[in-house]
Structure 1
Amino acid sequence: MSEENALIEIPRSDWTKLRDLYVHKDTDPQGYLCINNFIKWVEKDPELKATCLSLNGDWETDGTFVLTVDLETPLKHLYFNTLGDNLDRAIKALECLESFEKKYTFFGFCSRLKPAVDLIGRKYYTDKGPLIVETIWYRARKEVIDTFTIEAPSGITLLNLALEDAEAINEIWPHRSPGSINFVRKLIKYNVNVGAYDDHGKLVAWCLRLPIGSLGLLQVLESHKRLGLGSLLVKFMAKKISALGDQVVAPVVTKNTASRRMFEKIGFEAIDTTYWAD
């Protein structure tokens, strides 16, 4: 840790003030939606191990923050941002954290913040740096969402997911990892979601909402593909999130051309590139 700089906790009572500094960053993956998500989570679960930190106690000047969350997974989630003209204070704040390697995952940060993560990777990771996954960051405008119609195919019922569904969801999630079921449970418990169930009550497709406010974990079982369930659930969630007054955004792995075509076909537009790193 630098002798000159230190991280000072931002009291939870001030998180709304921090969030409101980012009101114009309502499509930024670590802006308004992200901070608002954790405000809601700690209201529902005051014991949640989420800590928001500022560089030397100064966060009101340029909104620089680092948020760490322990979701009972091997790596803590790390979120950060700044409204400054450059990334200097954000980098200094990150450098005050404990050892990065095998401790944190940088969760869904935008292209503007990538140089900071690249620098941390070169400086603090012993091998080749963190493993980075690239996604295209999509947004659906409200006027597009308002045109969506929701009509489930015969034999399919759309319902809120149950906590018991977490195991089935985690089992086939391409990005699952040790302890990731705890993350899935938090998403089901605290955020809006939707599941598609067949006539026997079996879960055959689902879509959740990530802590950064976006759609996530969209999946359709092989047995029920080509029925339009993917686009149906995206539209359903888009209307649900838009009704909350929030922007509707979604990350899609860059190489997943099929999913990208589906999002673009229903009216989502690419607005940035987003990354995950651990």
Structure 2
Amino acid sequence: MLKRLTAIYDVGELKELQGLYLQDWPKHCVGFFWLDNYLRWLSRNPLINHLTFFTLNGDWRSDGLFILVHRYQLFFSNLSRQETPDLMTALTLLDWTGGFKVSAIHETHHKIFKYLVAELQLCLQREMNTIMYRLPCKEAKELQFKCPPEYYLDNVKLEHSELINDLWSARHPGSLKLIQLLIENNTNVGLYEKETGKLCAWCLRLQSGFLGALEVLQSHQRRGLGVIVTAAISQRIANELNHDVTALVNINNAAACKVFDKLGFTLQKGEHYFWSMCLPDNQSSISWPANR
């Protein structure tokens, strides 16, 4: 049979697919959170631009195989976490000419991805190896923290998107629009100075469920504000979504690891995830559109 990529348009099917990723929890939580994120976005706006869910020959039921493309971002998963011919075929059938930011690649899928990069002679600009921390929903709901009296906690405002993007360690061409989408659609927490109303620290929830863009202004560091913001957003995620809380940390970022250790997150041993920047054809740098 001729293999081809087929799009999944039916929301009911996407919910069924998401349900497959509940098995052996939390083994497949990342795939579950991707689908959950975009299903929530679709419930608010059924006409999201540049969003497509793919599978191979319409068969997502046998191994939960799906590829999710949003703007220039690419996510892919299957339940077997093996170098299956179907997963490799599906990835090969994608149009790679425009380049992708490939996020949260599990280490077993990373072997497949690296093979694909070699086979298609793709050019990677950069790649990062991260480790995963997790806090169960029940424990997140019970977190105890106290905001200092000179500050208050609130949602992050869209007007601060440029500041957040400018200080984001994963910033890249096109990421400002991503930050704006996350502020508008996902759980987030900002810590503000009462006297001035200045945003001093913040954290957003990424599409894959992970905590991201955690930052404290340099002028307000060494006051424990990063721990407070992380605790606050973790509790919100647990209370609002009834979800476990997860975070990916650069393998060499000792300071971030201390924050999650202090709050009782557990390092998921052996769970490594990668993200990669795959350049567009015939370009020496990424030029993804900021307005898509």
Kept after mapping to 2: 8 A contact 1:121/1:130: no
- 1:143 shift after superposition: 4.8
Aligned to 2:131: 136
Aligned to 2:173: 178
Aligned match of 2:185 in 184, 190, 196? 190
- 1:38 shift after superposition: 0.5
User: Identity percentage over the alignment?
Assistant: 30
Aligned to 2:112: 116
Q: Secondary structure at the match of 2:183?
A: helix
- 1:144 shift after superposition: 3.5
Aligned to 1:237: 233
Aligned to 2:89: 92
Matched, 1:15 2:14: yes
4+ runs of 1 displaced by more than 3 Å? Answer: 25-30
**Cα separation, 2, equivalents of 1:85 and 1:155:** 48
Kept after mapping to 2: 8 A contact 1:207/1:215: yes
Amino acid at match of 1:51: T
Residues 123 and 189 of structure 1: CA distance in aligned 2, closer, same or farther (over 3 Å) = same
- 1:254 shift after superposition: 1.0
**Cα separation, 2, equivalents of 1:41 and 1:220:** 28
Kept after mapping to 2: 8 A contact 1:64/1:84: no
Residues 125 and 264 of structure 1: CA distance in aligned 2, closer, same or farther (over 3 Å) = farther
Aligned to 2:78: 82
Task: Extract unaligned runs of 5+ from structure 2.
Answer: 278-292
- 1:29 shift after superposition: 5.6
| Superposition TM-score, scaled by structure 2 size | 0.87
Kept after mapping to 1: 8 A contact 2:133/2:246: yes
Matched, 1:266 2:267: no
| Superposition TM-score, scaled by structure 1 size | 0.91
Q: Secondary structure at the match of 2:30?
A: coil
RMSD between aligned residues: 1.8
Q: Secondary structure at the match of 1:131?
A: strand
Aligned to 2:4: 6
Kept after mapping to 2: 8 A contact 1:159/1:196: yes
**Cα separation, 2, equivalents of 1:27 and 1:207:** 24
Aligned to 2:286: none
For 1:143-222, list aligned pairs within 5 A: 143-198=138-193, 199-222=195-218
For 1:29-44, list aligned pairs within 5 A: 30-44=30-44
Amino acid at match of 1:65: F
**Cα separation, 2, equivalents of 1:168 and 1:141:** 31
Moved more, 244-253 or 143-152: 143-152
**Cα separation, 1, equivalents of 2:29 and 2:161:** 24
Aligned to 1:247: 244
Kept after mapping to 2: 8 A contact 1:28/1:110: no
**Cα separation, 2, equivalents of 1:158 and 1:246:** 21
**Cα separation, 2, equivalents of 1:130 and 1:87:** 24
